[in-house]
Amino acid sequence: MRSSDIIVIIALGLEALAAPASNKVSERAPMPLPTPPGIPSASTAKTLLAGLTVQPSGSSSGYSRAQFPTWITISGTCNTREFVIKRDGTSVVVNSACTATSGTWLSPYDGATWTAASDLDIDHMVPLENAWISGASSWTTAQRQSFANDVTRPQLWAITHKVNESKGDRSPDAWKPPLASFYCTYAESWIQVKSYWALSITSAEKSALSSMLESC
């Protein structure tokens, strides 16, 4: 082999080493946002919002999380939390007890991705205490249990633990998701849940929801 050939081979090798690492991850299609059932269109949400009862919040006296029993069995060995974890993840593998052993999750409120189910909380779109002060205090325990485990509407979301802590029991006039791009879906979902369960909203809550729908 000629010395000039050797130089070319060495140069090509150095060029390959200097090239950027494979961009398979960056080129991979982004994870789809979780889409719990029942999210209405923006136009439907606006109609539903107009039909909600607007009044001041009721008293939180007597509220406790125990008033809203969670988690119940939803299917097979899966309780509500496990059902949502399985539903909202990608390539989720569960064991015989329905505990997720692997998978990937995208927290739609903040865009963070997780590979351990233990890093996630299940958020009630309309928090339990907010439901209590907007009508649920007069419900039976069975009704409150159904509300707290509602997987038929966009009430339950797998999200980042710290984001769930930040939200607490606050309504959209006091707290919004870190991702402004999620405002539309958040408002649509909040309105759907409140409408189905005939819960009231405050005037400040209605104003915030109307503003969020403008981002749709």
Tens of pLDDT, residue by residue over 58-97, are 999 999 999 999 999 999 999 999 999 999 999 999 999 9
Task: Read off the pTM.
Answer: 0.86
**Mean pLDDT of all residues in 162-176:** 98
Residue 108 burial class via C-beta count within 10 angstroms: exposed 0-12, middle 13-18, buried 19 and up: buried
Instruction: Look at 25-39, 50-64, 132-146 and tell me which has the smallest mean pLDDT.
Output: 25-39
Residue 12, pLDDT above cutoff 60: no
Distances from the Cα of 70 to the Cα of 82, 156, 198, angstroms? 12, 12, 21
| CB neighbour burial string for 50-72, b if at least 16 within 10 angstroms, e if fewer | eebeeeebeeeeebeeebbebbe
Characterise 24 by phi-psi region: left (phi > 0), alpha (psi -120 to 50), beta (else). Answer: alpha
Alpha-carbon gap, residue 141 to 67, rounded angstroms: 6
Helix (H, G, I), strand (E, B) or coil at 152: coil
The type of residue at 210 is S
Residue 31, pLDDT above cutoff 80: no
pLDDT tens for 45-58 read 999 999 999 999 99
User: What is the H or E stretch that residue 65 is in?
Assistant: none
**Mean pLDDT of all residues in 168-176:** 98
- Give residue 21's pLDDT: 36
Alpha-carbon gap, residue 152 to 142, rounded angstroms: 16
Alpha-carbon gap, residue 43 to 22, rounded angstroms: 43
- Give residue 30's pLDDT: 67
End-to-end CA distance of the chain: 66
Runs of H (alpha helix) within 52-202:
80-88, 128-133, 141-148, 161-167, 183-196
Residue 23, pLDDT above cutoff 80: no
Residue 136, pLDDT above cutoff 90: yes
Q: Is the dihedral of CA 199, 58, 169, 65 positive or negative?
A: negative
Residue 15, pLDDT above cutoff 60: no
- Give residue 33's pLDDT: 82
- Are the C-beta atoms of residues 66 and 117 closer than 8 Å to each other? no
